[in-house]
Amino acid sequence: MRQESFDFLQKYLNNPSPTGFEKEGQKLWLEYIKPYIDEYFVDTYGTVVGVINPEAEYKVVIEAHADEISYFVNFITESGFLYLRKNGGSDPLVAPSKRVNIHTKKGIVKAVFGWPAIHVRKVEQDKAPTIETVYLDCGASSKEEVEQLGIHVGSVVTFEDEFTVLNDRYYVGRALDNRIGGFMIAEVARMLKENDKKLPFGLYVVNAVQEEIGLRGAEMIAHRIKPDVAIITDVTHDTQSPMYEKKTAGDIFCGKGPVITYGPAVQNNLRDLIIETAQAAEIPFQRAAATRATGTDTDAFAYSGAGVASALISLPLKYMHTTVETVHKDDVEHVTQLIYETLLRIEDKQDFRYFS
């Protein structure tokens, strides 16, 4: 990876972008992608779209989502402790002893997830932490002091953990789900520009908001763009770590390439084009099967309007929805390359219908 790309990746991942409050991360992403696009627009809730060939009638989307899981302050006790609600799929099990940032109009307030010491607990009666039992301590001794810091019900809370590299092989941090996807589609736009590739269609590079609470940003922007084709990238579970049941979760490896999904929302001809592209370009890939839905923005695009030919290219990831989400460097490069090479094979007004 070139140094400028790595620097952006690190800055982008470290910047908080909680669901519903993605603005600052979106501004960073837009500034990075501006040199590689012809124009852009931002919708009411913060989804950003970079456009190449905006005058073209035939429209192709490449998309990732920008938001990360987080918490809301929900209740402040008289003694100054904070209880929370989830904003997306936050896992209270990983919360105790973690440091957090509470976002206020006065700036960041530091806090920690407190937890009673092992000395004072009856360990044999321990239960897993839940949203009802985890709490924040921001160093205040009263509700009034908490409020003086600028904290109120509805204040957003994100984990403090930042990006790192593990064994010169893995990228690790919070919110790789799915800002790493935003990074990859931005790199595709850069590669098209720097390699002077002229596409015969309009390309819409979409960094959508609010995926973590129901694919909401993708739903809105799909109706606005009305694309003909959509290629979505998101993360999927590496299943090699302990406690995965491969009979139900599949057999997916970090480091063995992009994951191409089969399922009702995935348009078969588009998926096959992606597979043929991987084979022709000698890009390693893996396969996965979805059930009724992929659970990603693919579903929102596929079923929008009169139906959009949509496919999902996933990045294997360890430890999803924790502060140590982990992906393999090679997979990041290969997902980026696969999206890029696929775009070069899509023809203007290509008809992906099964028959006509």
Please give the average per-residue pLDDT across 81-105, as a whole number: 96
Q: Are 113 and 96 in contact, with CB atoms under 8 Å apart?
A: yes
Which of the 8 DSSP states describes residue 234? E
Please give the average per-residue pLDDT across 325-335, as a whole number: 98
Please give the average per-residue pLDDT across 247-259, as a whole number: 97
Q: Are 171 and 326 in contact, with CB atoms under 8 Å apart?
A: yes
Residues in the chain: 356
Q: Look at residue 77 in the predicted model and tell me its pLDDT.
A: 98
The question of whether 211 is a catalytic residue gets the answer: yes
Q: Name the residue ranges covered by the structural domains of the chain.
A: 3-68+174-345, 70-159
Beta bridge partners of 326: 172, 318
Q: Look at residue 297 in the predicted model and tell me its pLDDT.
A: 97
pLDDT-derived band at 159 (thresholds 50, 70, 90) equals very high
Q: Look at residue 235 in the predicted model and tell me its pLDDT.
A: 98
Which of the 8 DSSP states describes residue 178? H
The pair of structure tokens assigned to 35 is 């040199």
Q: Are 138 and 146 in contact, with CB atoms under 8 Å apart?
A: yes
Whether the per-residue pLDDT at 137 is higher than 90: the answer is yes
Beta bridge partners of 50: 40, 205
Q: Classify domain 70-159 by CATH number.
A: 2.40.30.40
Instruction: Write out the binding residues for Zn(2+).
Output: 65, 177, 212, 234, 321
Q: Are 261 and 268 in contact, with CB atoms under 8 Å apart?
A: no
> Cα(190)–Cα(131) distance, rounded to whole angstroms?
42
pLDDT-derived band at 1 (thresholds 50, 70, 90) equals confident
What is the C-alpha end-to-end distance of the chain, expressed in Å?
A: 44
> Cα(117)–Cα(133) distance, rounded to whole angstroms?
14
The pair of structure tokens assigned to 275 is 């597979």
pLDDT one-digit tens code per residue, 290-324? 989 999 999 999 999 999 999 999 999 999 999 99
> Cα(348)–Cα(39) distance, rounded to whole angstroms?
20
**Strand stretches in the chain, DSSP E:** 39-42, 48-52, 59-65, 70-76, 81-87, 99-104, 107-114, 135-137, 156-159, 164-166, 170-173, 202-208, 229-237, 259-262, 286-289, 309-317, 325-328
DSSP secondary structure of 131-173: TTT-EEE-S-SSHHHHHHTT--TT-EEEE----EEETTTEEEE
Of 30, 316, 333, 33, the residue nearest 177 (C-alpha):
316
Q: How far is CA 184 from CA 5, 329, 331, in A?
A: 10, 12, 11
Q: Look at residue 288 in the predicted model and tell me its pLDDT.
A: 98
Q: Look at residue 234 in the predicted model and tell me its pLDDT.
A: 98
Whether the per-residue pLDDT at 336 is higher than 90: the answer is yes
Q: Look at residue 133 in the predicted model and tell me its pLDDT.
A: 96
- The residues near 31 (Cβ < 8 Å, ≥ 6 apart) are none
Q: Classify domain 3-68+174-345 by CATH number.
A: 3.40.630.10
Q: Taking the model in full, what pTM does it have?
A: 0.96
Whether the per-residue pLDDT at 35 is higher than 90: the answer is yes
The one catalytic residue among 68, 187, 211, 219:
211
State the chain's mean pLDDT as an integer: 97
